Amino acid sequence: MPFLGVNIDHVATVRQARITNEPDPVHAAVLAELGGADGITVHLREDRRHIQDRDVRLLRQMIRVKLNLEMAVAQEIVDIALDVMPEQATLVPEKREEVTTEGGLDIISHRDRIMQTVVQLQERDISVSLFIDPDVAQVDASADLGVEAIELHTGAFADAPTAAHADAEFDRIVAAGQAAVQRGLILNMGHGLTYRNVHRIADIDGVHELNIGHSIISHAVMVGLERAVREMKELVRR
């Protein structure tokens, strides 16, 4: 059974909408752990649009499960990772104008820069995962860098406009996944996975970890709203 890494970035997105102290992603992480999360994933973006430095440091102290820090190949963030020491660092591309991580890292074009960051992290025993598109050439380039893991970007599968497109994307994911396992890489997957589409991805042979954020946080808002209103109503009534 694949491990479930719960990405709590969007708890921080709600907090940052008011630049206040609630909801606290650290509190959310503890609840996710109680719910059975095998890992907590956060993306400390260079623009700090959701997760803040303080969140990463407190998460390191609070959670018992694996901490997976998503990060750009940027020295400022690498230095924080080396200080906080997550079990895993997932290197992702980052563009300021994007809404979310829109594509995988291009390992072939940026090999040397990525390699420098990989070495820095591995020297401190932080396991490195590269977030890449489901492309066998990118898997091979990742394996050549000597990383421990890759995370295949499942966004194109999740957002496919038709069932035929979804099937074609699924086949690419399976082929890239097979190549990764053959090269001895730990196989992670994530992006755009939902309660509707996760079963197909979770069923793929060799998948080690799924990282899921938006759909879980969206569902949490819905399943928790009725109780939250009831509790406020009770306070108002009293």
User: Could you say which of 59, 69, 72, 101 contacts ligand PXP (CB under 6 A)?
Assistant: 101
Among 55, 70, 133, 169, binds ligand PXP (CB under 6 A): 70
Q: Which residues are catalytic?
A: 43, 70, 191
Closest CA to 2 of 128, 215, 186, 197: 186
Binding flag, residue 138, ligand PXP (CB under 6 A): no
Q: CB-wise, 97 or 226, nearer to ligand PXP? A: 97
| Residue 90 makes contact with ligand PXP by CB under 6 A | yes
218 binds ligand PXP (CB under 6 A): no
Count residues near ligand PXP (CB under 6 A): 19
CA 187 to chain centre: 13
Q: Is the previous residue joined to 23 through a cis bond, with omega within 30 degrees of 0?
A: yes
201 binds ligand PXP (CB under 6 A): no
The CA radius of gyration of the chain, in Å to the nearest whole number, is 18
**Options 57, 66, 172, 214; binder of ligand PXP; rule CB under 6 A:** 214
Q: How far is the CB of 91 from ligand PXP (least distance, A)?
A: 9
Q: Which is nearer to ligand PXP, 26 or 88 (CB)?
A: 88
Residue 191 CB, shortest distance to ligand PXP, in Å, is 4
Residue from 2, 6, 7, 114 touching ligand PXP (CB under 6 A): that is 7
What's the rounded Cα separation, in Å, for the pair 135 and 226? 43
| 90 or 141: CB nearest ligand PXP | 90
Of 48 and 233, CB closest to ligand PXP:
48
Could you give the string, one character per residue 12-51, with x where binding to ligand PXP holds by CB under 6 A and - elsewhere?
-------------------------------x--------
142 binds ligand PXP, rule: CB under 6 A: no
In the complex, which residues of this chain contact ligand PXP (CB under 6 A)?
7, 9, 43, 70, 90, 92, 100-101, 131, 151, 190-193, 211-215
